[in-house]
Structure formats: C-alpha cells, structure tokens
C-alpha cells in the first residue's frame, strides 16, 4: 500500500505544490502507507528542475520510500498496457486535428467536452488513407459516458468519460494512461492531488477498471489561490522556497505557514501527523498573499 506525490519537473515548486505534497505525505503516513515520489517527465521538462524539486521537498522535511521513479524510464510498461487494450478492441486510431475536434464538438447533438467520435468507425481503407497524411493518436474506445468515483473529500463524484487519448500522435503515452498504469504498477492505492484534477479522475478510474485494476482511494485537495482567486503561480511574487529565502523566510517557516493553513500544529511534521484528521481539513482553497510579511 502506498500514497504518492508526482510533480512535473517544469520549474520550482510553489507553496501550493508543497502544501499538496505535505497533504499526500500526511494521508499516506497516517494510514501506514509507503510514500512514493514519481517524476512525471513525459512532457517538456526544465533542465535541473527535478533535482531542484527534490531539494525543495527535502527542505520542508518530507521523506519518501525508495528512489523516485521517472515516467520517461517506464515507457515499456505503458506500451504493454496500450497493447493489451488494443488486443481487446478497446482502442482506435484518431487523425483529428484540434480544429477538427472543436468543429465537430460544436455540432448540435455533440456531448459537451466529449470527443465527437469522428474516427471511431473508420474503415481499414479510410485509416490507410489518413495515415498517409497525418500520424495518428490512439484513443480509448469507451463504452460509457460517465463514471463515478469515491473521494475522501468530495464524496461520490460522477464525471464525463469519452474516447480520450491514451497515446499522443507524437508517440508519447498520454498523461491519463501513464498515471493509471504507474499507480497500479507501483502499488499506489491512495491518490492525493490537487482538486483541479478531479474532473479527469472518472476517465482514469474507468481506464483502470478496463485494465482490471482495483480502484484506489482518492482525495482531491483544495488548491492554493492568489488574492484574485486564480491558481497560484510564479507571477504571484514570493511563492517558492527560493524566493522566500531571499526575503529571509526559511523553509521551516514556510512549512509552518502551510501547516497553519491546514489547521494543524505547525512546529513539526510529526506533530502535524499525530493531529492529522482528513475529516477536519479545510474544504476551501488556500488564499495566499504576502507570505513574507
């Protein structure tokens, strides 16, 4: 049994990311689970960012089990899952551009947010012809429109499932596929992450069910927002450990601010762990402004 934190190495972690990492650690450790770190580096990465993020997580006092896994080193695993779906007739090639999809999706009977099904039933000849002009993405041949999940914070949540992409047309496995395959392969049965990902979770859970994986426990935690109610970002001033250190706010003080925002004892992670109660967590976003003052 394990929980995990899975950052993308695209830059420094900000206090909202660190708060989610602390929550994932608290959920895992308070339930006797291992805590794993996974680097989600299938997309564009920034040089040096992985090592930087690992330092930042260490600096606020987090620890994890084993060495961090990197998605870029696990491609065979994703291909294996994709092949098994294809062998069962559960995938199809899609040649649509973004524009094709936007146009088809605006048709009167289209389901909002769903792939319009353009390439679902192409004949072999049609596919052959389209392959000559454009590389294909691979989509899941979904048999449902909705899927329900259970979330420790949001309760029962039902969301859209469509024929989503599982392999991009550049050959890379899609995020929704890689996450599901990794969590299962790594023994992760508790998924704690930002609630901006809640709406993609029914897709992932459905995919996991097709692959025969037991459903993990989910907790989608509130994000950090800036004073204008937007998702916290680098432009919001001193929001990374590096920025904050430059105005004399040390990592243990940042951790204390984060633990304060969670209503937990703020002097150490072990004290916070002893007091941790998922049911008592704030349900509202954390509004961050002027951390250094």
**Which residues lie near Zn ion (CB under 5 A)?**
94, 96, 118-119
The first and second tokens of residue 90, run together, are 């559960």
DSSP states of 94-113 as a string?
Answer: E---HHHHHHHHTSTTPPTT
Shortest Å, Cβ 110 to Zn ion: 13
Length of the chain: 293
Distance CA 142, CA 210 (A): 10
Shortest Å, Cβ 202 to Zn ion: 21
Nearer to Zn ion, 21 or 94 (CB): 94
Contacts of 98 (CB under 8 A, 6+ apart): none
Closest by CA to 48, choosing from 11, 5, 8, is 11
Q: Which residues pair with 69 in a beta bridge?
A: 38
Nearer to Zn ion, 11 or 117 (CB): 117
Distance CA 97, CA 76 (A): 27
Q: Which of 131, 134, 234, 267 is catalytic?
A: 234
Shortest Å, Cβ 162 to Zn ion: 12
Distance CA 161, CA 203 (A): 5
User: Are 158 and 147 spatial neighbours (Cβ–Cβ below 8 Å)?
Assistant: yes
Shortest Å, Cβ 99 to Zn ion: 11
Judge whether 234 counts as a catalytic residue.
yes
Nearer to Zn ion, 118 or 268 (CB): 118
Nearer to Zn ion, 94 or 179 (CB): 94
Residues marked active site are found at 234
């Amino acid at each position: 049994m394990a929980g995990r934190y899975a950052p993308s190495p695209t830059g420094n972690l900000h206090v909202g990311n660190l708060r989610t990492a602390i929550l994932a650690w608290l959920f895992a450790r308070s339930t006797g689970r291992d805590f794993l770190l996974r680097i989600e580096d299938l997309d564009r990465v920034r040089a040096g960012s992985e090592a930087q993020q690992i330092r930042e997580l260490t600096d606020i006092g987090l620890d994890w089990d084993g060495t961090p896994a990197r998605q870029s080193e696990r491609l065979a695993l994703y291909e294996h899952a994709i092949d098994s779906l294809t062998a069962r007739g559960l995938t199809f090639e899609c040649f649509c551009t973004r524009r094709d999809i936007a146009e088809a999706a605006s048709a009167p009977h289209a389901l909002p947010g769903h792939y319009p099904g353009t390439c679902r039933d192409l004949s072999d000849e049609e596919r052959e012809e389209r392959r000559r002009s454009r590389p294909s993405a691979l989509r899941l041949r979904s048999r449902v429109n909705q899927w329900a999940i259970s979330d420790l914070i949001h309760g029962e949540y039902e969301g859209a499932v469509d024929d989503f992409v599982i392999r991009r047309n550049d050959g890379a496995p899609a995020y929704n596929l890689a996450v599901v395959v990794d969590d299962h392969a790594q023994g992760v049965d508790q998924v704690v992450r930002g609630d901006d990902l809640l709406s993609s979770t029914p897709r992932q859970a459905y995919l996991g069910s097709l692959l025969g994986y037991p459903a993990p426990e989910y907790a989608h935690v509130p994000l950090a927002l800036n004073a204008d109610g937007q998702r916290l970002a680098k432009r919001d001033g001193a929001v990374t450990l590096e920025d904050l250190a430059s105005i004399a706010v040390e990592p243990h003080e940042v951790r204390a601010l984060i633990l304060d925002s969670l209503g937990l004892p703020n002097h150490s992670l072990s004290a916070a762990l002893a007091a941790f109660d998922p049911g008592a967590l704030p349900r509202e976003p954390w509004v961050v402004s002027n951390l250094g003052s």
